[in-house]
A and B are shown apart, each in its own frame.
Chain A
Amino acid sequence: MTLEFAAVLRSRGFAVQLTVAAGETVAVLGPNGAGKSTLLGVIAGLIRPDSGRARLNERVLFDLGERGGGRWSRPHQRGVSLLAQDALLFPHLSALDNVAFGPRSAGVPRAESDSRARAWLERVDAVDLAGRKPAQLSGGQAQRIAVARALASEPDLLLLDEPMAALDVSVAPALRRMLRDVLRDRSAIIVTHDVLDAFTLADRVVVLEGGRIVDAGPTRHVLERPSTTFAAGLAGLNRLAGTADTESVVTDAGDRLRVRFTEPVAPGVRVAVAVRPALVAIAVEAPASDDPATNVVAGHVIDLETRGDLVRVRSGTLAADVTPGRVADLDVALGTEVWFSFRAEDALAYPQ
């Protein structure tokens, strides 16, 4: 085990317990204010919790009792590097000196630090930027150098706080590929809003909400069978909570749905049903045919949102992605009553 962490910070309603295995990358997802940055700050030693304990490899990061007091090691003693949304390169140092900062602070002689820094710049494909000052770098270049700088200090644990959020969509993919390369076999925690980051970079996902972990597990499991509305929203899925019946599910809204169960579920067990909005169709009149393999749910449109070349039509419980032409043909507007339909085989039910 690399990181064992448990901390409580009452003023922010934060209570999280988390472990990261050696070489594992954990993605932390959650809405704004869920405590993601607090989590990283406490691990890095920038925020002091009320109580808790954490250990990284053999090193005790903190061990604080309920009554205060106890051990608290300072950020520079922890072996934890933090990469933020902004590169935050030191503006008065060249790219090379920025990367060499970690080794030099650890007492490595200048020449050796420089050659290590050069090796890391090579790794992130930025050797030709070595002599530049941060003001002369683009956002993507600066973030690449920030990655090199974080890794050059040879941390036992790397923390990434939405490293791609401030970048152009055109440069994010290259940085993501580079991160996938350097995070392989490295212990890291990455806070992100982007499911693509979670799928590409993480082995495991933790969903934080209101300062607590509400879901955790392998990335695919959490994002394809979301147990919270938030995770479902991130993964772009409809999530309907309900109770299992024989071969069907009765949703909390009272609709009976034909579904595909991921595993045998006894009647009466709480389940969730996930449906992709792209596989949901809409109609303004109740569909005439009574095909048992098709589910029909009525609702009033509360939101219309253009997403790429499709329009997401949302009711209180369901969303459907349809073409703008279809929306125009049906004359759908806010408040219109519509019928959402989807096939039983597209509705995945799993126990909660």
Chain B
Amino acid sequence: MPSRRRPAYAGVPGWVVVVAVVGAAFVVLPLVAMVTRVNWAEFVPLITSESSVDALWLSLRTSLTATALCVLLGVPMAVVLARTDFWGQKILRSLVLLPLVLPPVVGGIALLYTFGRRGLLGQSFEALGVTIAFSTTAVVLAQTFVALPFLVLSLEGALRTVGTRYEAVGATLGARPTTVLRRITLPLVLPALVSGAVLSFARALGEFGATLTFAGSLQGVTRTLPLEIYLQRETDPDAAVALSLVLVVVAVIVVAVAHQAGESNGFRRRASS
């Protein structure tokens, strides 16, 4: 529990507080502005219209699948980055984290030239009769591409913090590396894994640019909630605002869960030191 006790001395200059308040208002005010524009009378019909439900359902499905893919690929990546030492590791880490800073549209174009009809790998898939671009698979790939660094980053940090002492003890007790990973390493970083997965999910849920570029906007197939909101804004602003509020609520829940996981992570670290 956070302590409510006053610190003995807090040397925060008054002007810092003023700027902080301005900053907080900058973040909170737009949300308030949006909430004031919600058409409450029509709220339920707006978010349960066919296209809205399609988009919501598609977003949830693809984001969860993308999160699972992030965990599946991200855990080994984080372990390799945190526990091994090889030439070019620093460069590899920067490259892996690139999607974090890359404009999503650029990511979408890169994916298109990899998995698209004429893409690097797409041609082989095409020969096997599999088309990836502009399908639900493409949505999942776009989301995984942008969300993966979140999981890798948070997990790698936790692995480095936990250190290798427990793993060494496990090995000298006769546990093979896979057993050590499953019974010692992963349980120790579980809070970070959870918060990393939650952040990945949030990033996947909000994905827009890469999805639009690589997967297009086909109702029920590739038109996720952010795309639906963008389209509705032109024709039916009330629906766009209502759906935006749904995403805000989801975001608040995600932040709360991630924060909770982070807290218990910190607690565990203290207890084990």
Contact = CB atoms under 8 A, between A and B. Distances in A.
B253 to A, nearest CB: 26
A76 B272 contact: no
Interface in A76-105: 76, 78-82, 84, 88, 90-92, 101-102, 105
Contact of A75 (B172, B268, B272): B172
A227 interface: no
Given A88-B166, A91-B268, A91-B272, A75 B188 contact: no
Contact of A105 (B179, B187, B190, B272): B179
B175 interface: yes
A233 B272 CA distance: 36
A78 B171 CA distance: 9
A149 B173 contact: yes
Interface of A: 44-46, 74-76, 78-82, 84, 88, 90-92, 101-102, 105-106, 134-135, 149-150, 153, 159
Contacts of B177: 74, 76
18 contacts: A45-B172, A74-B177, A75-B168, A76-B174, A82-B169, A88-B165, A88-B169, A90-B166, A90-B169, A90-B170, A90-B188, A91-B188, A91-B272, A101-B175, A102-B175, A105-B170, A134-B272, A135-B272
Given A88-B166, A92-B187, A105 B172 contact: no
B271 interface: yes
Contacts of A102: 173-175
Contacts of B268: 91-92
Interface residues of B, number: 22
Nearest to A41: B168
A82 B187 contact: no
A56 B113 CA distance: 57
A84 B170 CA distance: 12
Given A91-B268, A91-B271, A105 B173 contact: yes
A78 to B, nearest CB: 8
A71 B190 CA distance: 35
B171 A74 contact: yes
A92 B183 CA distance: 9
Contacts of B175: 76, 101-102, 105
A88 B163 CA distance: 12
Given A76-B180, A92-B188, 8 more contacts: A45-B172, A75-B168, A76-B176, A76-B177, A92-B268, A149-B173, A153-B173, A153-B174
A105 B181 CA distance: 12
Contacts of B53: none
B184 interface: yes
Nearest to A87: B169
Given A76-B176, A105-B176, A90 B168 contact: no
Given A88-B166, A91-B268, A101-B183, A81 B188 contact: no
Centre residue among B169, B175, B268 by max chain A CB count within 10 A: B169
A82 B168 contact: yes
Nearest to B187: A92
A153 B171 CA distance: 11
Interface in B79-109: none
Contacts of B174: 76, 79, 102, 105-106, 153
B169 to A, nearest CB: 5
Contacts of A153: 173-174
Q: 6 closest Cβ contacts across the A-B interface?
A: A105-B175, A75-B171, A91-B272, A102-B173, A135-B271, A82-B172
A74 B176 CA distance: 9
